[in-house]
Structure 1
């Protein structure tokens, strides 16, 4: 890859409109303008069931047309686009009636990570490994598979235990042997093995091993890491406080 080609990739990945990201998105903005401000938000549309082709509709109009809570959608967009933003306690309480949509969003995110992002990385690693010695192939497969299995276990716990608990509580059924504090106390960081994988690709594979592909897969891994970081932030700073409020409400009944 020549220098110009690499600079083009970096510009495309990193060149978001920082000026527009300096303030929060609002319901009366055109959704197209929101995406122009931060194109990574395209990833959120599918997770909320919002399709492209929305013309000049505002965020509010697009959310209403797709039966999506505009407040929740904007909250997630602002978390993704503004590193300084965290919703207030009152803002979190304001989405209490849309817990089901938040859970659906998180489940759709899980599917995207496993069926799209990680599958693409796995295919790229397979291509890279074909030009490596067997020892390096085994190391790549080992670290990637360990990370993938850890992510799967992480998501399965949420979908089998945490999300049904929340959904049942919304229906008035609350198991007495569980609360969201258990999830909060065990919400593990799953980034360590991903860091190991990045370092192997950057530092320890032979320098002449498919440099172009290695750069692409590293961009993919960094993007996955950033996306998962926001995902965890949403669970820790929005989902957990929201469920704690619900638990307190049920405790008073």
Structure 2
């Protein structure tokens, strides 16, 4: 179960709910706000009002929020209300967050937390594993940015490709968390203790959080984005 699921159970949020309540009850949803371009400082305004203030499609915002806060992958409740451009923008912003902010920030903390100044083979292995993992994530997301989203933009313009469809993406939508699991195991099981491990533990906590965030991101792609594009393909066809 993801952090979001654990915090909020199965409550379904509505346009009339206060946006501040949504965030206070589920702080992990701050990432959703950020990726939709929603700014803080909205007082007691409702979800609908805050979305309108920020030019965000409210049904799509709530579809993502409620999908992430459910314990199951119930897509049928969400697909009809989705705006494909809004959802695609959300995914693009998530890619930018991972590649340009979160993963580099974790690497910086990792270098500070492990002893890279000496011939520490475990430290070298940890950093190598992390860099390999980031490379995999970058390749994965750049493919989506350059190939998949370009294909969807053409669909939105009424252009259907005979050589590609979203099913190709869905069949090859590889998971990028296997190497991260191995990295966590190396740190937990084999990195030698050297007194104060607070920074290393904090970095490890960030790695766990990143893993959960990426898993939620993949769920949105698999269970919201792909079915929505399949419906769009039928319309264009």
TM-score (structure 2 length as normaliser): 0.92
Structure 2 matches for 1:89-168, cutoff 5 A?
91-95=78-82, 98-130=83-115, 133-168=119-154
Could you tell me which residue of structure 1 aligns to residue 27 of structure 2?
39
Could you tell me which residue of structure 2 aligns to residue 51 of structure 1?
39
Instruction: List per-residue Cα deviations over 1:140-162 (Å, max 9, x = no partner).
Output: 12100110000000001000100
Moved more, 129-138 or 99-108: 129-138
Structure 2 unaligned segments of length 5 or more: list them. Answer: none
Moved more, 185-194 or 79-88: 79-88
Structure 1 unaligned segments of length 5 or more: list them. Answer: 1-13
- Give RMSD over aligned pairs: 2.0
TM-score (structure 1 length as normaliser): 0.87
Could you tell me which residue of structure 1 aligns to residue 165 of structure 2?
179
**Structure 1 residues 62 and 85: alpha-carbon distance in aligned structure 2, compared to 1, 3 A threshold:** farther
Equivalent residue of 2:232, what SS? helix
Q: Extract structure 1 runs of 4+ deviating beyond 4 A.
A: 14-20
Moved more, 112-121 or 29-38: 112-121
Deviation of 1:75 (Å): 1.3
**In the aligned structure 2, how far is the partner of 1:107 from the partner of 1:81?**
21
Contact kept in structure 1, 2:60 and 2:87, CA below 8 Å: yes
